[in-house]
Structure 1
Amino acid sequence: MNSINHIRLFVAVPIPSSIKQAIDTWMEEIKPHFPFRKWVHPSDLHITLQFLGDTPADLAPQIMLALEQISKESSPLTLRLAPLGTFGRPPHPSVLWAGISGDVEGLHSLQQQVVRALIPMGFTPEERTFHPHMTLARNYASTIPFDRTKLSDFPVPSSPEGKGLQWTADEITLYRSHLNRRPMYEVVTS
């Protein structure tokens, strides 16, 4: 593929700045206890709905139109941060993530709408089941096997009022990845 005419894209639900700040503080507490090679920059926190990969740049406006239409027809979702988890081999996980709770059914429906809208543009749905989460770190880097029981030592942070971190998700965003940059994700605008 000619990289000049292609950009690396994905569709996601953005996270409000106040929630990103709280998660950043939480990640700073977690980092010394879980040696992952790469921690996500707080500006890059999001909930992926569909990874599109290398995409012809001239297709971006059409994708954005489809996402705008879905956003107009969708109700806002109330989402909450949920406990930590991992993907990958249990002794050496590839991803450390924070779960998402709240209107997860609505989030699944939104994800399916995005997938259906993008099929006519040539994007194929992922084979694995959609599991709403927020990636915090990648590539566990210790020779000592990962101890999942330690995840519960870091409960989900609370708001200043003592409630779980909750927010309203009312938009879908098209992001571009810049693999050798931090932060690495950029909102695609028309």
Structure 2
Amino acid sequence: MLQGAAVRTMLFVGIALYALADRTLACPAYPVTDFCHRHQRELDMILGNFAIGLPVMLLCIAIQAGVSFWCVRHYIRCVRKRQDGGATNPGIRPLLTAMIAMMAGTLVQVGLWGLLFVWLGEFSEFYEAVYHSAVNFASLGYGDIVMRKQWKLLGPLEAINGVLMLGMSAAALMAILQHLIKMQVREDS
């Protein structure tokens, strides 16, 4: 049931994007036509930003999900092994490992956005592209570097992506921390 609803939603979104991209569908023969013709360049830029930004967002989601699931599994495996050995606080080292892995996953995602910005010709130096990407990903919004109008919408897309991915990292780390606290309470009882 849920899968069918997801497929219908994706189909609807695909048709809507196609309608916006196709000038004959996006600009029917009624008053909206004038608006569409006057703003077709902006609509094209919006669709271009989405067409490039959304696949990068999906790649980031795949990276984040993989890192998050690995971290939780790694933590549980390590804790189970050490519980049998009688080590005190068996979850601290795997928690730190998970934090480092999450940070590495975040840095890879920031680097991917930076590579995209270099590929689009927005930056000639990779360092500047990664700096701009990190500012967007962390939702800092310094504003010291502004991309050209054509690709400006990628900044907010990356910020949305960053908020979601950092939230996912926080949720995974919180799950690990909750498990660690429960283990400590059991040991103290």
Q: How high is the TM-score relative to the length of structure 2?
A: 0.25
Relative to its length, the structure with more strand (as a share) is 1
Relative to its length, the structure with more helix (as a share) is 2
Q: Rg larger in 1 or in 2? A: 2
Higher relative CO (CA 8 A, sep ≥ 6), structure 1 or 2? 1
